[in-house]
Amino acid sequence: MKKKLEELNLLDDFLFGTLISHPVYGERFARILIKTILNRDVKILKVVPQMNYYGQDTNRHGARLDVYIEEEDGVVQGDVQLSNIYDIEPNQNDDKISKEVLPRRVRFYRSVIDARSLQSGSDYNRLKNVIIIMLLPYDPFGYGRIMYTVRNKCIEEPEMEYEDGALNLFLYTKGKIGAISQELKELLQYLESTTWNNAVNEPLREVQSMVDKVKYDKEVSISYMKSYERDWMMRNEGKTEECAESIKDFLSDLSTIPENISKQIDSETDLDTLRRWLKLAAKSESIEEFIEKM
């Protein structure tokens, strides 16, 4: 069942994305996250929310990044000013398949960011550092850790320095193993249960004030209703397609399906009708019987 807007926590995509993309509160929220998670103050920061990266053609996989944060830290190495890109995402998809593909999903996000961030003809030393931070209410790897820090390394010489600018952080809100700051522990608890009772320090109280204002904003409420409608339509579309295929599977065991009947089944959008046809297809002894009764 869909949550009410006022019931959302900051691990819910909609509330997190709405807050960090907010024209007034977004940058400050991003600064608090980066400061608490990475213990670094950001000098110059630009939030570009709801970045959509699509494949070069319609047959290639696309990526939707919930938030894209670019930092210019002011440090110059040679003639290059170093910079970081942050992709910070809550993820509550804890089913078996989603957990298994999580590392590959992160790898894909990074590859798309890298391809977009380096302009044609630029030297590779201008490729930006990319820090991907996943905020998770489930244990992604099963070791009970609060934080999993993943970098590339040499297998034969694990102590060998190999700095390619890539860093992945997986933060498990219920993790018990690992030493992190008290502020980060409090942030993770607050993200999972976003209430005044869990806003136990000044930055979190500041965030909670932002959350309250966002939740009771009329335009945000309308946007949430529209997002619910979009989600429902996508789920319903998936169910109708699956149901139509099941009907045709039953009928194909009986005989060749007439083209006009196949098109009628594919074009039907009412799920109740399709479910009725599915029961009928399962009971029919011939295509003709199904057509007569449908």
Does 140 score more than 70 pLDDT? yes
Q: At what angle do helices 271-283 and 218-254 cross, to 10 degrees?
A: 20
Ramachandran category for residue 189: left, alpha or beta (phi over 0 → left; psi -120 to 50 → alpha): alpha
Instruction: Say what the pLDDT of residue 134 is.
Output: 96
Q: Round to whole Å and give the CA distance between 40 and 114.
A: 23
Q: Round to whole Å and give the CA distance between 85 and 100.
A: 25
- The residue ranking higher by pLDDT, 273 or 170, is 170
- Top-ranked range on mean pLDDT: pick from 61-65, 136-140, 239-243, 287-291: 136-140
- CA-nearest of 206, 220, 284, 217 to 249 is 284
Calculate ∠ Cα 91-201-149, nearest 5°.
40
Please, which pLDDT band fits residue 125 given cuts at 50, 70 and 90? confident
What is the pTM assigned to this prediction?
0.72
- The residue ranking higher by pLDDT, 244 or 149, is 149
Q: Round to whole Å and give the CA distance between 7 and 162.
A: 44
- The residue ranking higher by pLDDT, 201 or 247, is 201
Instruction: Say what the pLDDT of residue 3 is.
Output: 80
Average pLDDT of the residues in 14-40: 92
- Alpha helices per DSSP H over the chain: 13-20, 26-38, 96-117, 182-192, 202-215, 218-254, 259-267, 271-283, 287-293
Does 178 score more than 80 pLDDT? yes
In percent, the amount of the chain with pLDDT more than 70 equals 83
> Parallel, antiparallel, or unpaired: how do β-strands 63-77 and 44-53 relate?
antiparallel
- Looking at the chain, how many residues does it have? 294
Average pLDDT of the residues in 163-167: 91
Residue 138, class by beta-carbon neighbours within 10 Å (0-12 exposed, 13-18 middle, 19+ buried)?
middle
Instruction: Find the range with the poorest average confidence among 162-166, 180-184, 210-214.
Output: 162-166
Q: Count other C-beta atoms under 10 Å from residue 40's C-beta.
A: 13
Q: Count other C-beta atoms under 10 Å from residue 17's C-beta.
A: 19
- CA-nearest of 134, 136, 124 to 165 is 124
Average pLDDT of the residues in 226-235: 65
Does 22 score more than 50 pLDDT? yes
- Top-ranked range on mean pLDDT: pick from 32-41, 47-56, 197-206, 221-230: 197-206
Give Cβ neighbours of residue 138 (< 8 Å, ≥ 6 apart): 92, 94, 99, 172, 174
Please, which pLDDT band fits residue 57 given cuts at 50, 70 and 90? very low
